[in-house]
Amino acid sequence: MGRADRLEDLTRAAELLLAGRLVAFPTETVYGLGADATSGAAVAAIFAAKQRPAFNPLISHLADTGLVGEFALWNDAARALAQAFWPGALTLVLPRRENCAIARIASAGLDSVALRVPSHPAARALLAAAGRPIAAPSANRSGRISPTTAAHVAGELGKDVALILDGGPCAIGLESTIVGFHQKQPVLLRPGGISIEQLRAVVGAVEVRAGTPAAPSAPGQLSSHYAPDKPLRLNARQGAPGEVFLGFGPVSAGEHNLSPGGDLIEAAAKLFTMLRRLDRGPGEAIAVAPIPEHGLGRAINDRLRRAAAPRF
Ligand code: TXA
Ligand code: MG
């Protein structure tokens, strides 16, 4: 374990990345499992450590918006979103540029790359020190709850990483919002730390395709993800016998509450930590109170629906 605010540890982390090793590091959304995005072998080690299916592509993190043009092709809406929300909790999926140095395996065979400029100071310092794009999915095993503390990472992937940089709990606590483009028009691919209302305030229309995880038209379309071990029941008013209840807002009674004051930002920051805690504590199942479907509530509900989806 290293400290994200210590220069020696950041320097060591950058050296390890450049040597092809895996380094877990904090971002403002969740902890990432990082590797040199330009090395196919290093990126392959991420897939192995996470036991992640090879068809699921990775986000590459950049130190600065000015680097995007080296790897991908801009469009006007993408530029406007980057200007408004970078550095921050937004990922843009753009066409790969010819001779893009990001390893093909990070794109999982697609002609696009997912790019993000994070705002966390340690992530930025690490990216600057490495001088390369860093591929980093959330630092959890595939399908499990994303980590929002260094201890979460150590518990799940400690043996597989060369170094974990501890930067304390993540401020946002939910993954980035992912926006792709169809004929250069923005399409929401995953709700996250930047709300769709915020996106629309910058670019006007943002399509949410029916039948994508962001807008499920049937529960069966949700692949299980972000899942605790225990079954999860949504929109619960209270816990049934055997269930532990996770409340939201002042109307929820009980000891566990995502935000007693009904604040969605607080609830997002606490969601994954609370799910992990309740998963380890007493009770055979978890019942969660309804969360309003606006602002960060959409991203919270997206994660909860997938956590509750049938598992295969
Ligand atoms: O906040 C975040 O985004 C965190 C931090 C570490 O940056 N990362 C993260 O990565 O959540 P991951 O791998 O857990 O989720 C990345 C998502 C996946 O759902 C993947 O399918 C999608 O991004 N993705 C990556 N490249 C893509 C592409 N070329 N086209 C469409 N989706 C893509
Ligand atoms: Mg993930």
Give CA–CA dist 280/228, Å, rounded.
9
Pick the ligand that lies closest to the CA of residue 175. 1
Give the global pTM. 0.96
Q: Which of 50, 55, 59, when mutated, tests ligand 1's pocket best, judged by the most ligand atoms within 8 Å of its CB?
A: 59
Q: Rounded CA gap, 1 and 216, in Å?
A: 39
Question: What are the residues whose beta carbons fall under 8 Å from the beta carbon of 39, sequence distance 6 or more?
Answer: 20, 103
User: d(Cα 211, Cα 222) in Å, to the nearest integer?
Assistant: 9
What's the pLDDT at 253? 81
Cβ–ligand 1 contact at 138 (below 6 Å): yes
Q: Where are the beta strands (DSSP E) in 163-281?
A: 163-166, 177-182, 185-190, 232-233, 243-246
Whole-angstrom distance, CA of residue 10 vs CA of residue 263: 34
Q: How far is the CA of 88 from the centre of ligand 1 (A)?
A: 14
| Whether residue 78 has pLDDT greater than 70 | yes
β-bridge partners, 190: 178
Mutate which of 138, 209, 224, 296 for ligand 1? The one with the most ligand atoms within 8 Å of its CB, which is: 138
CATH classification at residue 185: 3.90.870.10
User: Can you tell me the distance from the alpha carbon of 262 to that of 259, in angstroms, rounded to the nearest whole number?
Assistant: 5
The answer to whether position 214 is within a domain reads no
Amino acid at 109: G
Q: What's the CA gap between 294 and 301, in Å, rounded?
A: 10
* In-domain check, residue 118: yes
Q: How far is the CA of 138 from the centre of ligand 1 (A)?
A: 8
- Given 208, 224, 256, the domain boundary residue is 208
Q: Is the CB of 60 under 6 A from ligand 1?
A: no
39 lines ligand 1 (CB under 6 A): no
Which residue's C-alpha comes closest to atom 12 of ligand 1? 137
Pairing status of strand 232-233 against strand 285-288: parallel
In a mutational test of the pocket of ligand 1, which residue from 27, 31, 61, 91 has the highest number of ligand atoms less than 8 Å from its CB? Answer: 91
Question: Same domain for 9 and 98?
Answer: yes
19 domain residue, yes or no: yes
Q: Residue 146 CA: which ligand is closest?
A: 2
Domain identity same for 304 and 173: no
Q: How far is the CA of 59 from the centre of ligand 1 (A)?
A: 5
Taking the CA of residue 58 as reference, the ligand 1 atom at the shortest distance is 25
Structural domain boundaries, residue 179? 2-208
> Would you state the pLDDT for residue 220?
64
150 and 298, same domain (yes or no): no
* Per-residue pLDDT, 254: 87
Give the residue-averaged pLDDT of 142-168.
96
Which ligand is closest to the CA of 268, given by its number?
1
Each residue of 252-297: pLDDT tens digit? 888 999 999 999 999 999 999 999 999 999 999 999 999 999 999 9
| Banded model confidence at residue 226, pLDDT cuts 50, 70, 90 | confident
- From CA 37, how far away is CA 45, in angstroms rounded? 11
In-domain check, residue 202 = yes
154 and 267 fall within a common domain: no
pLDDT at site 214: 74
Nearest to 148 by CA among 163, 138, 157, 158: 138
Residue 66 lies in a domain: yes
Asked if residue 140 belongs to a domain, the reply is yes
Q: At residue 121, does pLDDT exceed 70?
A: yes
What CATH number did the domain enclosing 280 receive? 3.40.50.11030
Range 134-144 average pLDDT: 96
- 188 contact partners, CB below 8 Å, separation of at least 6: 177, 178, 179, 196, 199, 206, 207, 208, 209, 212, 214, 215
Domains in the chain, number:
2
Backbone angles phi, psi at 227, to 5 degrees: -95, 130
